[in-house]
Amino acid sequence: MKILPRSVEKLIEAFERLPGIGPKTASRLTFYLLHVPQEELDEFSDSLKNLKNKTVYCSKCFNIGESDPCVVCASLDRDESIVCVVEQPIDILSLERTGKYRGIYHVLHGAINPLNNIGPDEIKIAELLRRVKSGKIKEVILATNPNVEGEATAMYIRREVSILKAQNSNLNELKMTRLAHGLPVGGDLEYADEVTLSRSLEGRQEY
């Protein structure tokens, strides 16, 4: 005997397909929405409908935005000679919150992951290399995640850019950098893993 209405079951199943949402959380979200006024539900529904209808991918950096080019690429205040390479558009939000970066971006939309059949051709590496070939970029900052996939992606990009530099003399001044990885502010040494501690020692600065 079915206890829940089919509409409730379908919404629970839809929430369960989202990353990080298990059956219990999906059920809680669904029953929460049952108590929300219909006007708020309609607004929520419209937001979902417009998520793709009113967003586009920037043809320059592949970030998401309301127009092409995106607000970062269209800004006259950004330094177009510095490109920060990130895995996903959400990573740009984190970097922008610092208020310290004034360059532009390149979004890969993923990382190399052979176990999931994601190779260099499945993400936006070829597009990055085309931007590098233009000779307008002076620094490429590799800001991929500090995990196995992110490191593999960074190493692949570094190798491909090194090949381009060897083939093009106008790229001799191009610099490759990687975001420093180390101890988080407020963290304790006893809880840090060996890799994090090693990176912290390698990236130490004069104090």
Measured CA to CA in angstroms, residue 93 lies from 10, 15, 96 at distances of 32, 24, 5
Average pLDDT over the chain, rounded to whole? Answer: 91
CA-derived radius of gyration, the chain: 22
Gap between the terminal Cα atoms of the chain: 69
Inside any domain, residue 154: yes
How many CA atoms lie within 13 Å of 82's alpha carbon, on the beta-carbon side? 10
Domain of 141 in residue numbering reads as 79-202
Mean pLDDT of 39-61: 92
Measured CA to CA in angstroms, residue 119 lies from 19, 59, 89, 134, 145 at distances of 22, 21, 19, 24, 16
Which pLDDT does position 203 carry in this prediction?
Answer: 75
Mean pLDDT of 50-64: 92
35 and 124 share a domain? no
**How many folded domains does the chain comprise?**
2
99 and 197 share a domain? yes
Query: Does the structure show a pLDDT above 90 at 159?
Result: yes
Residue scoring higher pLDDT (184 or 122)? 122
Mean pLDDT of 108-122: 95
40 and 90 share a domain? no
Query: Does the structure show a pLDDT above 90 at 200?
Result: no
Which pLDDT does position 193 carry in this prediction?
Answer: 77
Distance from C-alpha of 155 to C-alpha of 174, rounded to nearest angstrom = 16
100 and 169 share a domain? yes
How many CA atoms lie within 13 Å of 165's alpha carbon, on the beta-carbon side? 16
Which pLDDT does position 1 carry in this prediction?
Answer: 58
Least confident of 6-20, 53-67, 166-180: 166-180
Mean pLDDT of 24-28: 96
pLDDT over 90 percentage in the chain: 72
